[in-house]
Structure 1
Amino acid sequence: MANAGTGWPVHGSRTVPWQQSGRHGTRADRMLREITVSLPPMIARLDYRPDPTLTVALADAARAVIAVDTDPRGQLGALGGLLLRTESVSSSRIEQVDASMDDYARAVAGIRSNESASSMVAATRALGRMIERAGTSRRIELDDVLDAHRTLMADDPVDARYAGRVRDVQNWISGSDHSPIGAVHVPPPPELVPELLEDLLAFAARDDLDPVAQAAIAHAQFESIHPFTDGNGRIGRALINAVFRRRGLTSRTVVPVASAMLAERDRYFSLVNGYRDGRVDAFVADLARGTRIAAIESRRAADRLAELPGYWRELTRPRAGSAAAKLLDALAEHPILGAEEAQSLTGAPLSSVYTALDRLEADGVIRQVTARQRNRVWGVVDLLAELDDLAARIAAAVRAAE
């Protein structure tokens, strides 16, 4: 059945038997014997043609993304790293996985940190791997999705055994912890997931659709299938940027769309739920708006990155050719570093590197994020701050646009 307003099909449903694997929760949880599961439509060959107003919004979003990715000022390496981290941190925060920037920096450096920080770093690596593969092969394969999920969940204390595996159990969203009673969404039964994923990836492989609309629909469909026991939101949002990369909107950067979603988290969830009722246009329009805003604010981050090396030089005035001067040239692309990495970047003796690091720390360019004397790690003050500042600017712009 299609929604009369858009022609996009409404999810079907089926009643199936249910039994708990143990005896948990309330009596109602324990006595539940059947549940109604959602049946997403097959979308691989569906046509999607937005109305003229939405077509303009989608084109504006695409142009804004391309403008960031083709910035001519030579800071794309630094910008790409900043945007990748911003996207993965915001995507983690949507799932209420959060940590301080110092904890995140320690985890990036491979230093034992709290569980949330380690999870945020895993999300960064998963996103990076999925986007890189989409750019290299110009396809998004199931193995790429499974590899990203394996990277995300490999060290998860609860779901590590399911890392990189499509679920073979029934799952649900919200409601009881012990059964699907009161769930917002009960995804399709596990035996249908492989076919639905194959269909979704065939949809993502098409080149005859607007790329921003395609990314939006692919994400909403992925969330509806919910193919993993955990990590669906973060992998599903990574799929958006993977589609952008596959379609050529980006080649070196990432659009921090999750920061726009995080700004209005409840609305984002509501729009995904609306997709299941055939209300596709609302979600596509919201992603187009969030993408355009995120791209515009990313260009402002590029402006900031272009200014920082000169600012740092004014602040510390290093001697030409010194280890400190060489470090300043490299900091934009290495916002978190230890002494060994700094030595590799400068080619200077370790004693000179430590002198340079101490000087840059005294001048406020870097700060130590480890509370120890051995194996110290420093973060670049302005770049760590920009991770939060960029997400905050995107959030403010999203709310102002309402």
Structure 2
Amino acid sequence: MGGAAISRAGRLACVWASWAAAMTWGDLPAQAQRASQTQPAASGGRGELLPEAFAALQEAQQAGSQASRQQALQRAGPIFQKVRLTSPGNPYAMIGLAECMRLTGEGKQALSLYEEYVKTPVGRTDYVGYKGMGLVQLESWPRLALTHLLRAKELKANDPELLQNLALCYLKLRDLNEALRHANLAINVAVNDTDPGNDLEAHRVLAVTHLERGEFRHADTASRRALDLVDKAYKASPSDPEASGRYYELVKFRVDVLKQRLQYTPEDAIAVTVEIVHLMQRLAILEQILSMHQTLDLVQAVLDQVPDAVPLLEQKAELQHQLAMKDEAIKTARRILELDKGNAGATRLIEYYQARPASTQPAGAAGPGGETAVGAVSGG
């Protein structure tokens, strides 16, 4: 493998290591949940509040959007803080608060709590604390991270997120054989996992590993599988901005993989170039979708201050329509009619949807202004 290819693949590995460490959700420690429910005040203080906090943390882990995730974390964090203040030695408050802090980007504070947690009788046998330490340390201290991730693996060997991050850790340490082994282990485990996102991430890590090893056709196969998985998730909810963002990042990643394959396997140039062109066209459409989501966020931020501004509500309804957010667009149009009876645009939008039952209108179908960008991508 040429030096340029190693450099390029290395940069990709670093990017995805950073992304995965930030996005990986830690498991809720099962014994912490059980203890908080069956012995709520076992460690004194406000232990009776822990079930509510763990429920919010679990909701954050399962949230479908960044906004709902943040809302759940904002509920969970203060409760764990309150229990910590009244009962500093409560291990369940420690690990709950550590997870909240890691997921909100407060890695340094989270690391201190993880270190405190793994010294407790509960934490010594709970892989979540060691896994959390490893995830926080992965980007800057991969050797330390490896020690803690391997300890977590001793306690729970079938966690696909843990195995993915072990693969990324070995990549950063240039142990490509172990990286490949753990990437494949992650895929084998993710097949039976309830979260399809784990299968996606495992294939993405495998693709990066093959790039590092100079195995471009294998990287092509793994990245294609990852794109297929994220494509399926995107088409299931094309109006979700987070799904659009994940799809956009994965398409960019696949283009990078194919460009390397084009450089180092010239015999496949025609087929690879055709796919690159197709994906670049898809990227342009996705950029348009993401731009509309950002514009919608801007409009909503102003509407939060002046909720009855009809011109802004009209813009909001149009953006929701273009993004295939049918129910939201209808709700906004009805609000416009409450404020401005007979509004032509709102009336036309509602009539358009009434003429097309949900059973016959796919998300992103052509509307009064022609085919939407969402429809163009989800149909591609």
* TM band (smaller chain): under 0.3
Larger relative contact order, structure 1 or 2 (CA cutoff 8 Å, min sep 6): 1
* Greater strand proportion: 1
* Greater helix proportion: 2
